[in-house]
């Protein structure tokens, strides 16, 4: 098997799943779902297969990773466990670090997470948690250590982020309890300590006349054709922004008039079928002439191997005159939900199309099958309704009573 090169390492892109690229003598590069690149070495000690963390690329170069791997091999020949030696040389007590437990937890959970969620978890760990106590033995971390880290996040007025980061840490500690790395979860004593926060709903246009004007604005958007198509498609299918940005051509079934989003991309971890209206199919057929040779329906301007940036639709809305208090990329969902409910469509059908997670798994599976034909009708009616709002707005008519 050929050895890795620095050129190959630079060319490796995130694929939405955990991948491993082997070098030699047990050394390999593990690429996370979100694109993080970590050096690992497999080895056996006392009859057990183990894994040694050697740092992240590019902070640790290929040459340095090989040198660390060679040192581990020399220790093994001397009857020394490289993991134990690594911890002792770093001045840490024996036992896995928080980062090591978190890496194992993420690896085990990664197959049921959506790509965007996996990226968010990895980002919060890397930005907030690891710099504070990532390399400490997990059994030595006290509630006060976690709280000090959270207070720094709160100081930035990111109260919801602090709460969610606490939840991530708690899940890592609970996983550590399960594998015997730590005796208890120190986060359990911090639930009432954080500054309370109230979640703000995503801004959305929900008055018919405003939606008509928005659709006209999308038609007149003079920026990228890809972004304009993503805006229009978002309005028509009202899926989550991350799902739209990561849409792939292989997921589009033109014959069945469906977009089938695989479970690993869905927040609820279940495959989601999106019936495509005539108008949504027209958007796809139009953009296929531009992006159809690539992987993503809406690729990044930086390269077809990347999906559209999460800022793409947001910046376009700002360019069209909508600030963050008026309309957001996520607001297309609230816009559709509000108006469809006001139009009298069945709430269960709307919720099924929004792919909201049901606490009753059996009922959720039943509803997905039961409501599919109703959802096909709903999606075409919604697209036709948007056309009517656009037409009325173009005519300059008063539309206070369109409903």
Query: Does an H or E element contain 259, and which?
Result: strand 258-261
- Active-site annotation, residues: 240, 267, 330, 333, 356, 366
Peptide bond into 58 cis (omega under 30): yes
Number of helical (H) and strand (E) elements in the chain, helices listed first: 17, 9
* Three-state DSSP class for residue 84: helix
Contact 154, 162 (CB under 8 A): yes
Q: What are phi and psi of 248, to 5 degrees?
A: -115, 150
Alpha-carbon distance of 290 to 310, in angstroms, equals 20
Q: What are phi and psi of 146, to 5 degrees?
A: -65, -45
The full DSSP string for 230-247 is HHHHHHHH---HHHHHT-
Alpha-carbon distance of 60 to 55, in angstroms, equals 6
Contact 42, 28 (CB under 8 A): yes
Q: Give me the count of residues in the chain.
A: 403
Please name the residue that has the structure tokens 């009298």.
Answer: 344
Contact 312, 227 (CB under 8 A): yes
Structure tokens at 177: 């309890």
Report DSSP state, residue 252.
E
Contact 225, 204 (CB under 8 A): no
Alpha-carbon distance of 241 to 335, in angstroms, equals 14
Structure tokens at 226: 């890809």
Alpha-carbon distance of 14 to 32, in angstroms, equals 7
CB atoms near residue 173 (< 10 Å): 25
Report DSSP state, residue 37.
E
Give alpha helix (H) positions in 78-142: 82-89, 98-109, 115-124, 130-133
Report DSSP state, residue 126.
I
Alpha-carbon distance of 349 to 346, in angstroms, equals 5
């Amino acid at each position: 098997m050929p050895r890795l090169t620095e050129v190959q390492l630079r060319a490796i892109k995130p694929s939405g799943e955990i991948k491993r690229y082997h070098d030699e003598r047990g050394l390999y590069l593990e690429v996370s779902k979100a694109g993080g690149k970590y050096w690992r070495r497999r080895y056996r000690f006392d009859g057990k297969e183990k894994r040694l963390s050697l740092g992240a690329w590019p902070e640790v170069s290929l040459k340095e990773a090989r040198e660390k791997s060679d040192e581990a091999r020399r220790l093994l020949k001397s009857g020394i466990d490289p993991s134990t030696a690594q911890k002792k040389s770093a001045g840490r007590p024996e036992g896995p670090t928080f980062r090591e437990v978190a890496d194992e937890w993420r690896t085990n959970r990664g197959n049921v997470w959506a790509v965007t969620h996996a990226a968010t978890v990895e980002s919060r760990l890397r930005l907030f948690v690891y710099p504070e106590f990532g390399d400490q033995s997990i059994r030595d971390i006290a509630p006060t250590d976690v709280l000090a880290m959270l207070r720094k996040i709160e100081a930035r007025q990111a109260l919801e982020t602090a709460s969610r980061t606490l939840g991530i840490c708690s899940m890592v500690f609970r996983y550590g309890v399960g594998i015997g790395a730590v005796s208890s979860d120190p986060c359990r004593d911090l639930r009432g300590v954080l500054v309370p926060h109230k979640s703000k709903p995503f801004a959305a246009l929900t008055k018919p006349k405003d939606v008509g004007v928005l659709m006209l604005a999308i038609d007149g958007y003079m920026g990228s054709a890809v972004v304009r198509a993503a805006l229009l498609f978002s309005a028509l299918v009202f899926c989550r922004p991350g799902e739209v940005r990561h849409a792939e051509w292989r997921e589009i079934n033109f014959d069945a008039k469906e977009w089938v989003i695989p479970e690993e991309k869905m927040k609820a971890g279940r495959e989601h079928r999106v019936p495509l209206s005539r108008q949504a199919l027209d958007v796809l057929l139009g953009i296929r002439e531009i992006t159809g040779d690539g992987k993503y329906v809406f690729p990044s301007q930086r390269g077809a191997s990347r999906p559209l940036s999460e800022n793409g639709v947001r910046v376009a809305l700002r360019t069209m005159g909508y600030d963050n208090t008026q309309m957001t990329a996520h607001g297309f969902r609230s816009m559709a939900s509000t108006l469809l409910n006001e139009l009298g469509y069945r709430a269960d059908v709307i919720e099924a199309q929004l792919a909201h997670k049901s606490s009753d798994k059996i009922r959720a599976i039943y509803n997905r099958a039961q409501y599919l034909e109703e959802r096909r009708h709903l999606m075409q009616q919604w697209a036709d309704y948007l056309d009517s709002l656009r037409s009325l707005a173009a005519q300059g008519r008063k539309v206070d009573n369109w409903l």
